[in-house]
Copies of this chain bind each other. A is one copy, B any other.
């Protein structure tokens, strides 16, 4: 049986999950593929730490060269995370003619094109299924759909922590702070939750999806990104009454020769398949010009699901090594640094305002929206609840398609009257 040797950089959560997934399924994989895959070396300085799995001590090394410069090792699995030293290690592995598998979205978002170019130059493979949506085989799935379809849009629930928070807020009426605290106590959210709740993690993943699907370079810091901290229970309740669910969505759309995209909380109609993706689950929804709607659902995080995706990439490469088939990086990371990544297009919008509790307010607001050629789908005033000392109440509107700039002009005009005290929240309503 052909032996394939893997060197693993790092043995944190994902490394552990990968090691464990291979341990569980080694024999099954051997039976199905005729390949004996073994993780022979692991870069880590602490072989004595209890990781809950049984790893022979001789596999550990503190010297990265024992992996990167080891002629026996076919595939390097980079599972350290962070931009450096991960990028340097991957670059070295590729230059040494080793195939690389990574789950590192930050390094890919920062240095993906350089690494992709290196892999092509040295005729080796660079795979990163685990970097986009954990255990969901989305890159593999897209490789078929991508080729037989022109994909016009992609929408993803790409962060499990925020989806968990929004789901719990919606299901049990708990406040954002309450659910976050709860999630932190369960070890489910980080002590510093910024990367999750501000949408930065989702932006990293969307960046990779955009470059794969549209062949356009979209550095995460160029993607307009907004997290879920502005979403209140009032918004969730209002939205649900009107038939919508609020989700943190990474979205991109190809219109004409531009790609529009962002990460932000949006209102999704309850009948949208993404609206039923709950708790820590992730999903990616695409629309093809032939296949129409497709959605891929699964666990976006967790040691074993993510390890499953890393292992899938390893097997994929191992089979190509065995068959000695030509390596093909096609549609895996197509960066085009000349392309421009633009802001957002037109959309339906949800706006929540704080308004004084007096008559004539609705008339003024609807008149100004009308003057700006913006049509109203739903308008609703919450009579029961007063905000602050000024006797303010919440008023929400859901507006038919409009450009953001036009909306902002109308809201400016509205703010100049005495009809509205303040704009409390603006969210896109995603339609299909």
A residues whose Cβ falls under 8 Å from a Cβ of B: 17, 20-21, 24-25, 28-29, 32-33, 129, 135-137, 140-141, 143-150, 271, 273, 275-278, 281, 288-299, 302, 304-305, 307-309, 311-312, 314-316, 319, 323-326, 328, 330-331
Contacts and interface: CB of A to CB of B under 8 A. Distances in A.
B33 A296 contact: no
A275 B143 CA distance: 27
6 contacts: A20-B290, A148-B315, A149-B308, A290-B307, A290-B308, A292-B298
B135 A144 contact: no
Contacts of A325: 323, 325-326
Chain B CB within 10 Å, residue with most, of A29, A294, A323 = A294
Nearest to A273: B297
Nearest to A303: B290
A294 B147 contact: no
A292 B24 CA distance: 13
A137 B291 CA distance: 9
Contacts of A323: 325-326, 328
Nearest to A293: B298
A302 B296 CA distance: 20
Contact of A308 (B137, B145, B308): B145
A366 to B, nearest CB: 31
The oligomer's copy count stands at: 2
Given A137-B141, A145-B308, 9 more contacts: A32-B331, A137-B144, A137-B294, A144-B309, A273-B281, A290-B304, A295-B298, A319-B328, A324-B326
Contact of A24 (B33, B150, B304): B150
Given A140-B143, A296-B141, A330 B21 contact: no
Nearest to A324: B326
A277 B32 CA distance: 32
9 smallest A-B Cβ distances: which pairs? A325-B325, A290-B308, A276-B276, A295-B297, A21-B290, A291-B308, A135-B291, A148-B311, A148-B312
A191 B146 CA distance: 36
A421 B54 CA distance: 60
Contact of A330 (B32, B288, B295): B32
Given A147-B33, A150-B24, A289-B25, A297 B297 contact: yes
Nearest to A17: B290
Contacts of A273: 276-277, 281, 297
Contact of A291 (B28, B293, B305): B305
A40 B180 CA distance: 60
Given A149-B25, A273-B277, A325-B325, A144 B291 contact: no
Chain B CB within 10 Å, residue with most, of A17, A143, A278 = A143
A300 to B, nearest CB: 11
A3 B328 CA distance: 19
A292 B144 contact: no
A269 to B, nearest CB: 12
A302 B288 CA distance: 14
A308 B25 CA distance: 33
A305 to B, nearest CB: 5
Contacts of A20: 290
B294 A136 contact: yes
Given A24-B289, A298-B291, A137 B147 contact: no
A140 B296 CA distance: 12
